[in-house]
Structure 1
Amino acid sequence: MSHECLFCRIARGEIACHAVYEGDAILAFLDIHPIRPGHTLIIPREHYPWFEDLSATVATDITTLAQRLARNLKAIYRVERVAMVYAGMHVRHVHAHVVPIHHAHDITSASYLKDGLDGFSMPPSPPAQELEETAKELRERLAPRAP
């Protein structure tokens, strides 16, 4: 763990949090700057700066807990949707945001705001050829490689 990382310090118990789940590999606690009430962060106890660095086991643990949490957030807040997003903008330690969705823009991008907060604008779609080129490159990179 990083000695200075905010989330590592929370994981070690050096900084208090409003924990909702404590496991050996992961910790979930309420965000102190929530998008909506119930906004929860799930972090690995071990320091990983990027979500793609997580082991499959820890990533699965986070997703499984997020699903359990989502079911309960739906019951508590009577919402149809709960979002889970790995963002990592403010703290360079993997963290998943699990947020009850009350409004279409609770978790959004500036691309969706062209028509203001009461609308929901679809970003322009790239040309089909561009989409196919991107898909082809990703398929090639994701294809199993011979040893």
Structure 2
Amino acid sequence: MSSIFSKIVAGEIPAHVVAETTEFMAFLDVSPLAMGHLLVIPKKEIDYIFDMDEESYFGLTLFAKIVAVALKKAFPCVKVGMAVIGLEVPHVHIHLIPMNAVGDMNFSKAKLNPTQEELQEAAQKIKAQL
């Protein structure tokens, strides 16, 4: 069964994609911890990040770095935090979150509920920095 992320890759579910290659994709989280919160995924459906082959793992990490640099320019912050949790969706994904304090990476805090227009604006801001 396809994960929700595989359905995004296939175009079956819309997403605010900010960057894409033949192997990887970065798109906005629809329930972000902060505006600009991105998910970076391999297009190939793999459940556990440490099951990835080395080339794909390093490629995903490099792609995340490129996107994180653009994210920091689009949403000025102290740092862009990176987290891999992987329990909620059975598809490797890296969270990239603009942060100014440690608590900004607290996944148990209330999520934002941005409009589609706000998400589109955020996506455009990040794309402009790539």
The 4+ residue runs of structure 1 with deviation greater than 3 A are none
Q: CA deviation at 1:95?
A: 0.4
Output the TM-score relative to the length of structure 1.
0.68
1:105 match: secondary structure: helix
What percent of counterpart residues are identical? 31
Consecutive unaligned residues in structure 2, runs of 5 or more = 109-130
Give CA deviations for 1:30-86 in whole Å, capped at 9, x if unaligned. 100111111110111111010011111111122112211222222222212111111
Q: Distance in 2 between matches of 1:61 and 1:83?
A: 18
Equivalent residue number for residue 9 of structure 1 = 7
TM-score (norm. length: structure 2): 0.76
Q: Residue 108 of structure 1: CA displacement?
A: 3.8
1:42 aligns with 2:40: yes
Listed as ranges, the gaps of 5+ residues in structure 1 are: 111-147
Contact persistence 1:29–1:42 (CA under 8 A): yes
Instruction: Note if contact 1:26-1:58 (Cα within 8 Å) is conserved in structure 2.
Output: no
* Letter aligned with residue 63 of structure 2: L
Contact 2:81-2:97 at 8 Å conserved across structures: yes
- Alignment of structure 1 residues 14-33 onto 2, 5 Å: 14-33=12-31
Structure 2 contact 48–90 (Cα < 8 Å) conserved: yes
| Equivalent in 54, 57, 62 of residue 56 of structure 1 | 54
> What SS does the aligned partner of 2:50 have?
helix
Determine which structure has greater relative contact order: mean sequence separation of CA pairs < 8 Å that are 6+ residues apart, divided by chain length: 2
